Structure formats: C-alpha cells, structure tokens
Structure 1
Amino acid sequence: MLWFLLCAGLLVAGYFSYGKFIERLFGPRPELDTPAITMADGVDYVPMSDKKIYLVQLLNIAGLGPIFGPILGALYGPVAMLWIVFGCIFAGAVHDYFSGMLSVRARGASVPTVVGEQLGSVAKHFMNIFAVILLLLVGVVFVLGPAKLLGNLSGIAVTAWVAVIFGYYILATLVPIDKIIGRFYPVFGALLVFMSVGLLIGQVYSGKGFYQSGIDFSNLHPEGLPLWPLLFITIACGALSGFHATQSPLMARCMQNERSGRFIFYGAMIGEGVIALIWCSLGLSFYESPEALNATLASGGPAAVVHEVSTSLLGTVGGILAILGVVILPITSGDTAFRSARLIVAEFLKLGQQALPKRLLIAVPMFMIGYLITQAEFGVIWRYFGWANQTTAMIMLWAAAAYLAKEGKLHWVCTLPAMFITAVTFTYLANADIGFGLALQPSTLIGLAVTLVFTVAFLLKFRSAKVVTVQEESA
C-alpha cells in the first residue's frame, strides 16, 4: 500500500511542479478570447465551466482505458506502476496539454490541423486519414465490449445491442455538446472517480498486500511476454495515449480561459494516472500470484477481473459499479470518438457543422463504415487500435516539439518522449503479428534506427532555433 501511496504522491507532485513548468514554457495568454467565445455556435463551440470541462475531459480520455490496460499491465509486476507514474508526468500529461492548448491557439482545430501547422501539409493529410481510422477503431472497440457484456447479462443478441449502442452514438454525435455530453458526463466522470477510490478503500480494509515479498521490478509476466515494447502498448491510457489528442480539441472549443489549460488537460491526465494506479494496484494485490490473475483474464478478460474485484471488495454495490464501468464508461468514450471523427472530416471538407443536415452528411456514412468494422474479429481490431493509438501519440509529440522549436523554447520536453514512443511503436510494428513478425532483437534495432533518423531530421530542421528558457520569458 505504501508503494501505491508513493506513486500517487509523485503524480500529484508532478502536476504542481512539472505541470507548472510546462505551463510556463508554453505561456498561456489569459487576455486572449478563446474559440469558445469567438466562435460560439451552440453545437461544438459552447462555453462551459472549468470543473465541468475537467470531468468531461476525464471521462472522454478515460473510458475503460485506465481500467483494462493497467489490469493487463499488472501481469508484469510493480514495474507497470513505474511506467504509469513517469509516463504520465513526462509524456502523457505533456502530450495532452499541448494537444489541447495548440488546438485552442488554432481556433479549436482538430489534431490533423494542429499537426499540419507544425509538421507540414504531408503530415496533415496523413493525420487526417490516420486519426479517423483510429477514432473508428476506438468507437468500434467501445461498441463491441459493452454489447457483448449486455448480451451475456440479458440473453438478447449481441447484434441487437450493437444496433442500440450505435443508435445512441448517432444521437450523441449530432446533438449540441452541452445537451448530453456536457450535461450527463460530468456525473459519469465523478462516478468513475468514486468507483476507483471506493475500491481502493475496500482494498485497504481487506488487508491485502502485494503478493510478492518486497517490490520486485523484474518482469513477472506468467507467459514470459517481454516488457519491451509490449508494456508501453498495453498500458496507454493512464500513461500516454494518442487517443487523447483527438479528444482534447473537443474541450478546447469549450474552455473560456487559457489559464485553465493546465487544470483541464494536464490535470485530467494526472487524474487518469491515479485511476490507472488504483486498478494496477488492485491487479497486483487482489490475486495471490500473476498466474491467478492470468487465469481470471483467460476466463473472461479484464471485464471478469473488474467484476470479481468489485463484487468481492464492495458487495452488491460493487457489482453495480462493475456493470457501470464495463458498460457505460466505454460508451462515453466511443461517442466522443465518433464526434471527433465527424469534426475532423468536416474540417477537411470545410463543411460547417451548425446545420443538422450537414452533420448527417458526414455522420451517416461514418457510422455505416463503423458498423462494417464490427464484423471483424475483436482481437485483431484491438491490436491495431493499440498500435494506432501510440503512433498517434508519437506524431502529436513530434508536432508539439516542432512548435516549441519554432518558438525558440525548450523542445526537449516533447522531443525526448517523442523519441521514446517512436522507438516503441516501430519496434512493436516490426515484431508484432499484425506487423512484420520479426524477432525482438532485429525489431528493436529497427525501432532505434527509425528513431535516430526522425531525431536527426528534426534537429537539422530546427538547428538554428534559439532556445528561450522559462526564466528568460519571465524576465
């Protein structure tokens, strides 16, 4: 338990120290009117309070991510919690802050436009395609998961539940953001927090500790799966997730002051990191061994772990919370995924979204494609989603580094995590079955070689930029 408290304390300290440093480096300008004010349209650009935006942002970026990923990551042992802490502070929260604030500065633009402004038109066009594919994969993943659980609970065909969830997605994607998302999602966001904290308290009163004596940072995975690069793909939400770059612009269109950026973007990521720590800790402490955790995962996946842990620690209430977590939370991320995809396509086509027929023009074919994707095998969809997710994070971090370099500021705060996740994604692509299926050693060499090429090209392009420190800016 002390290990968990130390990790959570580091996350909170990171928000007040490194988060403040990142904020000062970016230089928010509270005197500027944000897009929520200058472009208010009553549909996507709608001013909302900071607290409401924070809870919506937390729910948008979280869903099942900080629950399922850390449960799977717990198989590797306590080292998974190190990735959550340091990944969140130095990569994930930095990524989320810049994806949100650069969107604010770009009139609430979606991630392809933000990337294009910093890395050029080729990167923008690539990101237009890549981001929409990622969002469709996210939406489909977060349809099939709850649909299967609801099918098992009710006896009604899974395809019927898929249709029901898609029907809700269409509604939530089309109506003004403050009618459903802005009204109900803060409540769901609070429930996500209370659910996780309640389970943590239940864990404390259960008297369960870590199953291993002391803190062992070696790889404890019962199937011998390697830490590199799989841990950094397995645990995305809670540490670093490119999906967040597609969600931050939604709230960038609702934020009323640039000073709120650290609380909303960096802070929501820290909040998600704490939730991820709780679930990773539960995975580590509830079961007597990694093999026992793996057996439950084999029988019913992470959803079975959520149900077993929740009902054991919290009784009947825990069972209700488990259903809430496994059904409602992915749905609330799936609908915002489709909403983001609609806005990205609208920006590409330069098609205004204030009129309902124009929203339908994009949404209808998009949902038809999404439904067709649901016919593919779930495991394949999930693996492609994991890789696409971290690849999006890689591109966004390089774009943020380019912005800082152009401004003559300390770009290494984004360049270093961009280099790391570049190595991860290309190693995974070379090694995984969905990629080239090479052995791990040559795959790692390929990942490092690509990272070196990217880094050298970046440094050559911005070699003449003068670094302006935070102290110089303050002066």
Structure 2
Amino acid sequence: MTLFLIALAILVGGYFIYGTLMERVIGCDPRREMPCYTKQDGVDYIPMATWRVFLIQFLNIAGLGPIFGAIMGVMFGPAAFLWIVLGTIFAGAVHDFLSGVISISSDGASLPEIVGEQLGVGVKQLMRGFSLLLMMLVGAVFVLTPAGLIADMTPDWMNVNFWIGAIFLYYILATLLPIDKLIGNLYPVFGFALLFMAAGIMGVLLFGDVTIPDGVSEGFYNRSANADSMPLFPMMFVSIACGAISGFHATQSPMMARCLKNEKLARPVFYGAMVAEGIVALIWAAAAIAFTGGYGELGEYLAENGGTGGLVHNISIEWLGAFGGMLAILGVVAAPISTGDTALRCARLIAADFMHCNQKSIVRRLAVSVPIFAVTFFIMQVNFDVLWRYFAWCNQTLAVFTLWAITVYLARNGKLYWVTLFPAMFMTCVCTTYILFAPEGLGLDYMLSLGIGIAAALLCAVTFAKSAYAIKGRITEY
C-alpha cells in the first residue's frame, strides 16, 4: 500500500511541479492566435469547451494500454510502479504536452509534418508512411479487442463478427463527421464510465479490505516467471507503453490542438491527460496484484482465467458489484473504441496534410478515407497476437522520433532541450534493444542487443550535439 500511495502522490505532484516547469520551457503564450479560429472549417478546426477537449484527448490516448498494459507490465515486479510514475512525469507527459504546443504554433500541423520540419525531408517522408501504418494498426487492433469483449456479454447471434462490423461502421462515421458531432457528444459518456471505473477500483484499494503486496523490501528484480526470455529491460518498457509513454499520443495531440481555445489550456489538456492515464495504469497495476495475491500469483491467474480480459471482468464485478461492475466494463470497452475511432480520423488528417487536400468537403474526406478503411480492413485479417506485438514496437519507435524532433526544436529555439534529450536517448536504447532481442525481431543475444541499444542512443546524442541546431541552441535561463 505504501508504494502505491507514494506513487500516486508523486504523479499528482508531478503535474503541478514538473508540468509547470515544462510550461515555462516551451513558453505558452495566452495571446497566441489559435488554429481553431484562424483555420476554422466546421470539421476538424472547431473551438470546443476545454473539458470536452480534455476528455477527448484522455480517451484518445487511453485505449486498453493503461489497463491491459499495466497488468501485463506489473508481472515484472515493483519496478513497474517506478516506470509508470517516472515515465509519465518525465517522458510521456512531456512528450504529449510539447508535441501539442508545437502543433499549435504550426497551425495544427500533424505529427509527421512537425517531425519532418525538425529532422529533414527524408525523415518526414518516412514518418508519413510510418505514422499512417501505426494509425491503421491501432484502428485494426482496437476493432478486434472491444469486439471480443462485447461478444462475451451479448447473445450468441451477436458474435465477434457482428461486433467487428458494428464497431468498424462507427469508426467510419467518426472519421468522416465533424469532430464536435459524434465524438464530441459520445466521449463525455465514455469518459464518465472510464473515470468511474478508475475511481471505484481506487476506492476499494484505499478503503476496502484488500492488501497490495508490493514486495519492495525484496528488491526491484524481475518477478516474471520466464525472466531469462523476458528481461525487465527492455520488455517491461514496451509492455507498459500507454501508461508511461506512447508515440501514438503525439499523433493525437495535434488533433486536439485544432480545437483548443487558448494555449494556456495546453498543460491541463495534454500534460494533464497523460498524468490521468498514468494514474489509471497505477490503479490497475495495484489492483491486479492485490486481487490475485502477488506477482507470481498474477501470472498463474491470467493463465487459468481467460487472460487480462478475464481478470478485468472479475475485478470489476467482485469489487464494484453488478451495477458498478457493468459501468466499469463499459469503461473498459469504451477505452479501445474511443482510441480506434480517433486513430483512423488521425490517419485521414495525416494523409490530407501531406496531400494538401482541404477536408471541408465530404467528398474530399471520402477520397482520403476510403483507401485507409480498405487497408485497415486488410490488416484486421492478420493474426491478432502478431498485430499487437508489432503495434507495441511501432508505438514506442514513434515516440523516439517525436522526442528527437522536440529536442531539436527546443535547441533551435534556444530552450532547455535536456528535458527531452535524456528521454529520447533512453527510448532509443529501449526500442533498439527490443527489436534486436525480441522473438518477433531479430532474436539476437541479449547482451549484444543491449550493447547495440546503448551504442545507438549514444550515437544519436553525439549526432545531435554536433549538429548545427544544437550548436546554435542556447539554454534559456530562469
């Protein structure tokens, strides 16, 4: 319980202390003309109430990551709590917040255009294709996952295929309609369910007759049952993605940058939404080991009770009762759906940006979207386990590109670039080591993979230090 309470306090404190520092670093200007007014089109550039923008951003980035990812990640042991807290404050929230503010200053430009502006035309072209692929992977993954969850709770004739069709149809509508229509009206309902779920589970953890066996006194070693094939580094840092840092988030920040009314609201929306997601991840990590009895017991429980989905269902029903449990399960279902729909919408915006195709007309939106829907449907035919593994790696790799782009931007503008330089180096090492070592990667020796990962991070740092951008940059003094 002590570790959980300390972690929770640090997360909340991090928003006010480190979040405020990041606001000073980037220099939010409340007098800046906002894209929602200068480029208002009634479709994507629309001024929206701050609470709606926050909920949309929160639900966009949440998905199942802070729930399923946190449960899978906590099997590595108490180190998972450290990564959720430190990753959220110093990497994930900084990544989401700064990418959002940079997008605002660039008239709501999408992520590939932002990265390309800082890292060059070649990287821009790579990022356009890479980001589109990731958005379609997210769309595919978050059709299949909620379809399976809902099918388990409905009559037999409403099977998985029925729900795949229904959810995909909803995604098409959410991609094409103005953002303040379907998404803007449904997200408050989804948001209530997800926040109720988190608050209810936390209430049981704090005031119920449960014990959180954090095991800190025994050390932060790897508790995974197959520690040799699943080393804590880098596996835990890829398993817990959305609950700490996720490249997907930086694709969503520009979409909300087009709806924010004032730049002074960027920290509550972008940094705040990531901290809220970190809290959700922290709650579910603690709930998983409290409900099952420990790290080793968690792995056994998942194997015997239908995996993470079965655990989430059982925790919700047993701890919150029938009504509360149903609301909690609604939140679990709503989370991936609210990520999948905006992923495909974001894919349309990315494609429209690099094709310079105005999206005010429904005909033009269809012209851009139909190929995206077709490719996403094709991706859905791939084995889900394969999709999830490559989604996880692509997700974190996108964070690497984003962090390096933000670092260059800060250096170019004479700002404190160290705040993203170190997270960029760390995530470069994580992703390089993972793709070299993991079975779905090259399957190389662990120490060799780790050595190359460290070398890659150092090489990127040296390249950055020698660049004209870094030489011209100066650290703003406060």
TM class by smaller structure: over 0.9
**2:61 touches 2:248 (CA, 8 Å); kept in 1?**
yes
1:65-464 correspondence runs (5 A): 65-154=65-154, 155=156, 156-211=158-213, 215=217, 216-224=219-227, 225-298=230-303, 299-461=305-467, 462-464=469-471
Distance 1:358 1:26 in 2: 35
Equivalent AA in structure 1 for residue 449 of structure 2: S
Alpha-carbon displacement from aligned partner over 1:404-442 (angstroms, at most 9, x marks no partner) = 110122111011000000000000000112211112111
Q: How far is 1:107 from its partner?
A: 0.7
Distance 2:199 2:176 in 1: 33
Q: How far is 1:200 from its partner?
A: 1.2
Distance 1:172 1:391 in 2: 27
Aligned CA distance change for structure 1 residues 269 and 470 (closer, same or farther; 3 Å)? farther
Secondary structure of 2:285's partner? helix
Q: How far is 1:204 from its partner?
A: 3.1
**1:346 touches 1:353 (CA, 8 Å); kept in 2?**
yes
Q: Point out the more displaced range, 347-356 or 462-471.
A: 462-471
Secondary structure of 1:409's partner? coil
Q: How far is 1:49 from its partner?
A: 1.6
1:17-36 correspondence runs (5 A): 17-36=17-36
Distance 1:459 1:57 in 2: 34
Distance 2:477 2:389 in 1: 40
Q: How far is 1:463 from its partner?
A: 4.0
**1:246 touches 1:340 (CA, 8 Å); kept in 2?**
yes
Q: How far is 1:205 from its partner?
A: 3.7
Q: How far is 1:206 from its partner?
A: 3.2
Distance 2:276 2:247 in 1: 17
Distance 2:38 2:473 in 1: 33
Q: How far is 1:249 from its partner?
A: 0.8
Secondary structure of 2:306's partner? helix
Alpha-carbon displacement from aligned partner over 1:24-43 (angstroms, at most 9, x marks no partner) = 01111111111011001010
Equivalent AA in structure 2 for residue 434 of structure 1: E
**2:412 touches 2:470 (CA, 8 Å); kept in 1?**
no
Distance 2:295 2:276 in 1: 26
Secondary structure of 1:217's partner? coil
Secondary structure of 2:150's partner? helix
Q: Percent identity of the aligned residues?
A: 48
Equivalent AA in structure 1 for residue 197 of structure 2: M
**1:306 touches 1:322 (CA, 8 Å); kept in 2?**
no
Distance 2:69 2:94 in 1: 20
**1:148 touches 1:158 (CA, 8 Å); kept in 2?**
yes
**1:296 touches 1:304 (CA, 8 Å); kept in 2?**
no
Q: How far is 1:213 from its partner?
A: 5.2
Distance 2:59 2:129 in 1: 25
Distance 2:44 2:411 in 1: 31
**1:303 touches 1:326 (CA, 8 Å); kept in 2?**
no
**2:66 touches 2:281 (CA, 8 Å); kept in 1?**
yes
The number of residues matched between the two structures is 471
Given candidates 460, 465, 473, the residue that maps to 2:472 is 465
Distance 1:89 1:228 in 2: 19
What residue ranges of structure 1 are gaps of 5+ in the alignment? none
TM-score, normalisation: structure 1:
0.96
Alpha-carbon displacement from aligned partner over 1:39-86 (angstroms, at most 9, x marks no partner) = 010100010122221111111111211111111111112210100000
Distance 1:112 1:466 in 2: 23
Q: How far is 1:226 from its partner?
A: 1.1
Equivalent AA in structure 1 for residue 129 of structure 2: I
Secondary structure of 2:233's partner? coil
Distance 2:215 2:184 in 1: 46
TM-score, normalisation: structure 2:
0.96
**1:427 touches 1:444 (CA, 8 Å); kept in 2?**
yes
What residue ranges of structure 2 are gaps of 5+ in the alignment? none
Instruction: Supply the RMSD in Å over aligned alpha carbons.
Output: 1.4
**2:425 touches 2:461 (CA, 8 Å); kept in 1?**
yes
Distance 2:281 2:223 in 1: 19
Q: How far is 1:152 from its partner?
A: 3.1
Equivalent AA in structure 2 for residue 394 of structure 1: V
Distance 2:368 2:416 in 1: 40
Q: Point out the more displaced range, 405-414 or 419-428.
A: 405-414
Distance 1:157 1:444 in 2: 44
Equivalent AA in structure 1 for residue 426 of structure 2: F
Equivalent AA in structure 1 for residue 223 of structure 2: L
Alpha-carbon displacement from aligned partner over 1:342-398 (angstroms, at most 9, x marks no partner) = 000011111111000111112112111111111111000000000000000010000
Which residue does 2:47 correspond to in 1? Answer: 47
Equivalent AA in structure 1 for residue 185 of structure 2: R
Distance 2:391 2:263 in 1: 32
